[in-house]
Amino acid sequence: MEFITKVSIEGKTPLVYGAFNENIDIHPNLNDYLNDLKNDGLLDLSLGAVNKIYPFDKLENKALFIIGLGDKNNYDYEKLEKAGSKITKKLNKELIVVLDSFCHNLNKEEVLKKLILTTLSYNYHYDETKSKKTQDDFSLGFYFTENLHHVIEEYVNLGMAINNTRDLINKPYNYLNTNDLVNYAQELVNTLKNDSVEIEVLNKEKIEKLGMNAFLGVNKGSSIDARLIHLKYYGDKENAEKISIVGKGLMFDTGGYSLKQKMNTMKSDMGGAATALGIFEACVNNNVKVNLEVIICATDNRISQDALLPDDVVTAMNKKTIEIVSTDAEGRLTLADAITYAQRKGSKKIIDIATLTGAVIVALGEYTTGIFGNDQEMIDKICNIGSKENEHLWQLPITDYIREKVRSSKVADLTNSTGRSMGASGAAAFLEEFVEEGTKWVHLDIAGTCFRSQPAYNEAYGASGVMVKTLYEYLKSM
């Protein structure tokens, strides 16, 4: 998909206009013609309806696509995105969107941003594992009179980072294992070509020396050694403060000896890691003024003669011991050591992202992300940004009762599973045990929102790329 930043509406290329149910006023050569069609019942201007019109002698463009915006009084950014989702290659291989017609009472820069991200999202496809590839010959231009080219550059970069995140999550395990993820991260750093970016990859021997035995316990059943990926971007060198994003990197999760009954879509269990990499890519490409580190403990959870067993006890990097009640509660073991590692590296502000629990899906469904943490200001800000970005979050509790359940093991300091009830909160309470005093921490459980197995809004099947744009905007606002 190609975006054209300098376009004219004069020529043969089909134009895309938005129009409300009320009197149409989009172009002096077209208004009477289109209003006559509307009055004759030949135009459907309900929200998201697409009308193909031939302008004949009124314009030289081959065709017009009029997208319904519904009623003016009810128009908002969410309705804009629904209308924008109809701007796809299915209309024509080359289109020019007339920006003003989609604005009405909305901010023009924000409208352009949302149209870019929406069109990139709805024109996304994953065909790496198909023999017949999709033709990427869609060209999209925007017509506007102001200087908004910087908006196109920034949000094309963000949209591409989101789609790269989706590609990673959609890859099956035999296309993306731990070593492949390491290679991707190293290639990403090379592609970014930024002197403020560094990467460090720790092998199993170095991880052992750090005492990350919770992480290594999960890796015991794998035929591929554990790796820790540490990316660094110093975009605000005048400021010593930094923030770490910890992404869960379970390349595939069988459940281990606590075997899952159904494993389809478990390739997406590294969704947190992919999200973190997408955020990193967007921040670096757009030169966001932030000091950002990404930490990923990458492995898979498999069964072998050496694999972790229920009743085993492992010692985490911070020396707390953990009773393994369920080997399927493995992601939190890797995150626990990753959170400790981030703090040892000097981070006092941490966001972890993980496809952590099925319980959060039961609680919130597939379109709301669960959020937990110890800093209400951070939580509120992320939730507010998420609402504006149509990536909704809901805060769930960590109560003293749940904390005591996590500490209820009779043989160790902590138990790695509190059972089916309050499962999302139990996992968050477990992670909280590894957050040191003075560290601001937020946990995002994207188990429900990361992967669309039954898309409700005509999105592509598979990875959603959720939370990349919300956390990008959060980091940008710091």
Q: Tens of pLDDT along 98-118? A: 999 999 999 999 999 999 999
| Of 6-10, 87-91, 324-328, minimum mean pLDDT range | 6-10
pLDDT at 160 over 70: yes
* For residue 7, pLDDT beyond 70: no
d(CA 278, CA 98): 30
- Shared domain for 176 and 277, answered yes or no, is yes
Strands of the sheet containing 440-445, edge to edge, are: 197-202, 227-234, 291-301, 243-253, 349-354, 440-445, 369-373, 393-395
User: Does 71 lie in the same domain as 204?
Assistant: no
Which DSSP helix (H) or strand (E) runs through 14?
Answer: none
Question: Given a cut of 80, is residue 3 above it in pLDDT?
Answer: no
Q: Examine the domain organization and report whether 110 and 90 are in the same domain.
A: yes
For residue 458, which phi and psi values (nearest 5 degrees)? 65, 20
The pLDDT assigned to 88 comes to: 95
pLDDT at 9 over 90: no
Three-state secondary structure call for residue 29: coil
Tell me if 207 is assigned to some domain: yes
* 377 and 295 inside one domain: yes
193 shares its domain with 268: yes
pLDDT at 423: 95
Domain end position, chosen among 147, 181, 212: 147
Give tens-digit pLDDT for 345-372: 999 999 999 999 999 999 999 999 999 9
Position 72 pLDDT exceeds 90: yes
Please identify, among 147, 167, 188, the residue that sits at the C-terminal boundary of a domain: 147
One domain for residues 274 and 315: yes
Same-domain check for residues 225 and 165: yes
User: What is the chain's mean pLDDT, rounded?
Assistant: 96
> Of 124, 147, 170, at which residue does a domain stop?
147
Is residue 65 very low, low, confident or very high in pLDDT (cuts 50, 70, 90)? very high
Reported as a pLDDT band with limits 50, 70 and 90, residue 419 is confident
Q: Is residue 381 part of a domain?
A: yes
3-state secondary structure (DSSP) of residue 128: coil
Contact 256, 327 (CB under 8 A): yes
Give the H/E segment covering residue 142: strand 139-143
Residue 399 is given by DSSP the state: -
Helices (H), 86-223: 108-122, 149-170, 178-192, 204-209, 213-219
CATH at 7: 3.40.220.10
Task: Give the number of other Cβ atoms within 10 Å of residue 109's Cβ.
Answer: 16
The range of the structural domain enclosing residue 350 comes to 157-476
Q: Within a domain: residue 152?
A: no
**pLDDT above 70: residue 40:** yes
Tell me the DSSP string of 47-67: TT-EEEE--TTS-SSS-EEEE
Predicted confidence at residue 27, as pLDDT, reads: 86
Active site residues: 260, 332
The token pair at 237 is 């060198």
Assigned domain for 169 exists: yes
Assigned domain for 367 exists = yes
* Domain count across the chain: 2
Tokens (6 digits) for 435: 């957050």
pLDDT tens for 204-245 read: 999 999 999 999 999 999 999 999 999 999 999 999 899 999
Look at residue 258 and tell me if it is in a domain: yes
Tell me, yes or no, whether 176 and 133 share the same domain.
no
Give residue 388's region: left, alpha or beta (phi > 0; psi -120 to 50). alpha
User: In terms of domains, do 102 and 209 share one?
Assistant: no
pLDDT tier at 23 (50, 70, 90 boundaries)? confident
The DSSP element (H or E) to which 282 belongs, if any, is helix 271-285
In this structure, the answer to whether residues 298 and 340 fall within a common structural domain is: yes
Q: Summarize pLDDT for 167-185 with one digit per residue, the tens.
A: 999 999 999 999 999 999 9
**Residue 320 falls inside a structural domain:** yes
Q: What angle do CA 217, 462, 282 make, to 5 degrees?
A: 80
Question: What was the pLDDT predicted at 6?
Answer: 60
> If you average pLDDT over residues 312-321, what whole number do you get?
98
CA 288 – CA 251 distance, rounded (Å): 29
Question: In terms of domains, do 308 and 344 share one?
Answer: yes
User: Is residue 148 within 8 Å of 107, Cβ to Cβ?
Assistant: no
Do residue 294 and residue 177 come from a single domain?
A: yes
CATH of the domain at 378: 3.40.630.10
Which pLDDT belongs to residue 5? 66
pLDDT for 386 equals 98
**Residue 12 within a domain:** yes
How confident is residue 2, by pLDDT bands cut at 50, 70 and 90? Answer: confident
